[in-house]
Amino acid sequence: MNLEPLRELARDRLTGRTVIAITSGKGGVGKSTIASLMALIMSRYGRTTLIDLDIHGTSIPRAMGVQGRVHEVSKEGIEPIKVLENLGIISIRGIIGSRYVVLPGEREGSVMEALLAFTNYGDSRFVMIDMPPGMSDELLVLGRVTNFMPIIVTTPSKQSLCVVEDLIRYLIDTKQQPRYLIVNMSYIQHGASIIRPFGDVNMAYELGKRYGLSIIELPIDPSLENYIGSIINYRGELLSRLEQIVREIIEK
């Protein structure tokens, strides 16, 4: 199957937009939550499309509370599900509904490319992409169709950081230099005390220094669970910390 026309369409549609990929190489580190919150912040500055590129474990529709809705299709393409005036989301869940999907490996890339190519981005200034875990088709697909800004998410655990270092090296080798390493679930604030359930974050800071990344530590916020399904209403500490990154991207 010749995918080049699909890739060309994706390139054309993404040209001129700021494309940000929330990635890790490791599952369970909070990429979807961070992608959702950053897209909410981005939408204050301009129209934003948030794409859930994890075609097996879609989390964005659930976080946003739109998991029962399906995409409309117009002559311009797949229409994002509107969450806020300036924010729409795209997900395979909005196409297949409540059914699960099992795809052979050779089909994953073409599905991802189709989502990127057929989305109607309209006048979106920003495209935020929630990447799947791992280092596979998603990186190759995205790299073929756009120059993206990777933002890497990890926990402070050594296991996660070792996987993340491989991702950082790959991105640098492919000329997609990451700027930020978000150390998620880094600590719990308990009164005046800070508890670090994964241990210290020295390894993360060493990694940042080695590869020229800014480190953003995020706490564990137990209240966040109450906002799954209505994350647009969350106003906790994670949001204020992530605003720092968004402002820097906007002012770049």
- pTM, two decimal places: 0.92
Give the amino acid at 78. Answer: I
The pLDDT tens digits for 155-187 are 999 999 999 999 999 999 999 999 999 999 999
Q: Quote the CA–CA distance of 195 and 127 in Å, as a whole number.
A: 35
Mean pLDDT by 10 residues, the chain (252 residues): 79 96 90 96 97 84 90 95 96 76 63 92 97 83 93 94 94 94 93 89 95 96 93 93 92 78
Question: What would the 3-class secondary structure string for 173-215 be?
Answer: HCCCCCCEEEEEEEEEEECCEEECCCCCCHHHHHHHHHHCCEE
Angle of helix 158-173 versus helix 202-211 axis, rounded to 10: 10
